[in-house]
Amino acid sequence: MGGRSAVVGAVDVGSNTVKLTVARRRSNGTLRVLAADAETVRLGAGLAERGTLAGDRVDAALVALTRFGEIARSHGATRLVGVATEATRRASNGGEFLRRVRDETGWDLLAISGEDEAALTFRGLAIEVDLAGAVVVADIGGGSTEVIHADDGVIRSTTSLRLGSGALTDLLVPADPPTVADVDACTAAALDILRQGGVAGGRGGRLIAVGGTGEYLARLVPDAHRVIGAEVETALARCREMPAAMLATHLGIQEARARVLPAGIAIVRALQQVLRPIYIEVARSGIRAGLLLDTFERMDREMNGLGEPAGDSGPRSIRNDD
């Protein structure tokens, strides 16, 4: 079956959450989403201390991926593709995890570099968001943050930083709800990592926060599409008022995801201080959309008996046979 009529399931396995999108490509090149789901498994929990993925977190991820495979197949998916990000590429047992995913769930899962993660995110974002002019895209994950500088839809630079909401929560947020000191410590740590990573000061342009942090931040402010400076502080104040269980109910998300949200918004606060945008736009992560578009193009080339185009090998595996 060619790429134009096929159904593909795509997952991204992050440090906090495993997310699914099942889609078919329309004739105009956009995606028709047939199903979507997410499960917060905290795969990267405790990684900084142990250097490995915890057994119970691996098991939780496998359960989620098995269920997602069933959902994708029920919608007619003929390919199950996925990418794993910071937790898997950093863990010493990441290769073992990838093998178990392939053998036990049927997903073709690759650990990708931060640069490839940024490229897929940007590609997927471009089909939904106006990227005209100078923009900075920040994909805030559980274990890493990818910062993309672009002009008129062309990436100029990418920076992948070991800065994530899950990792900061594990290290700096013992209290639930977090205290002022907890949130300030997360902000200070984020500022240090951003500056050490060479993320430059801005000139009042656009900052687009993608992923769960941006999406859930938007539910805490009046305008779900644009967040102005003072509203980030208001959102953090609301997070400090509610324990994770209450925040989860308020936002309609899992408690484990709500637990790491204050640290994620603290990263947004740090980005705001460094980049000084006029406002912050929020969008869902584009990584699965980018992966789906990439997969459909590969299927087209396979159907036509063509190889990979010069200079394009797609997402590169970091650790899938270790």
pLDDT in tens, 298-310: 999 888 876 655 4
The residues, ordered by sequence, that sit 6+ positions from 300 with a Cβ below 8 Å of its Cβ are 2, 3, 4
**What does residue 44 show for φ and ψ, rounded to 5 degrees?**
-90, 5
- E-strand ranges in 42-114 read 79-84, 108-111
Quote the tokens at residue 117: 């993660």
Encode pLDDT of 256-269 as tens digits. 999 999 999 999 99
In a domain, 123, yes or no: no
Q: Do 75 and 48 share a structural domain?
A: yes
Q: Do 197 and 77 share a structural domain?
A: no
Query: What's the total number of domains in the chain?
Result: 2
Cα dihedral 194, 188, 235, 174, rounded to 10, equals 120
| pLDDT for the residue numbered 105 | 98
Q: Do 146 and 262 share a structural domain?
A: yes
Residue 222, domain extent: 130-283
In a domain, 310, yes or no: no
C-alpha 212/C-alpha 218 separation (Å) is 10
Q: Do 215 and 89 share a structural domain?
A: no
C-alpha 272/C-alpha 236 separation (Å) is 14
Nearest C-alpha neighbor of 293 from the set 119, 147, 169, 175: 119
Q: Do 262 and 210 share a structural domain?
A: yes
Nearest C-alpha neighbor of 266 from the set 232, 293, 238: 232
Radius of gyration of the chain (CA): 19
Q: Tokens 């889609």 label which residue? A: 23
Q: Do 162 and 85 share a structural domain?
A: no
Quote the tokens at residue 45: 């929990």
Range in 1-15, 63-77, 170-184 with the lowest mean pLDDT: 1-15
Q: How confident is the model at residue 204 (pLDDT cuts 50, 70, 90)?
A: low
| pLDDT for the residue numbered 316 | 41
Quote the tokens at residue 79: 């390919």
In a domain, 267, yes or no: yes
| pLDDT for the residue numbered 223 | 86
**What does residue 31 show for φ and ψ, rounded to 5 degrees?**
-105, 135
CATH number for position 277: 3.30.420.150
Q: How confident is the model at residue 82 (pLDDT cuts 50, 70, 90)?
A: very high
In a domain, 125, yes or no: no
In a domain, 124, yes or no: no
Encode pLDDT of 168-202 as tens digits. 999 999 999 999 999 999 999 999 999 999 997 76
Q: Do 106 and 52 share a structural domain?
A: yes
Q: Are residues 125 and 208 in contact, defined by beta-carbon separation less than 8 angstroms?
A: yes
Q: Do 45 and 21 share a structural domain?
A: yes
In whole numbers, what is the pLDDT of the chain averaged over residues?
91
For residue 277, pLDDT beyond 80: yes
CATH number for position 102: 3.30.420.40
Q: Do 94 and 147 share a structural domain?
A: no
In a domain, 38, yes or no: yes
In a domain, 108, yes or no: yes
Q: Do 19 and 42 share a structural domain?
A: yes
Q: Do 101 and 63 share a structural domain?
A: yes
Q: Do 89 and 33 share a structural domain?
A: yes
C-alpha 182/C-alpha 186 separation (Å) is 6
Which CA distances in Å does 271 have to 123, 129, 279?
22, 20, 12
Encode pLDDT of 89-136 as tens digits. 999 999 999 999 999 999 999 999 999 999 999 999 998 899 999 999
- The two beta strands, 108-111 and 206-210, are unpaired
In a domain, 119, yes or no: no
DSSP letters for 223-269: -SSEE-HHHHHHHHHHHHHS-HHHHHHHHTS-HHHHHHHHHHHHHHH
| pLDDT for the residue numbered 196 | 95
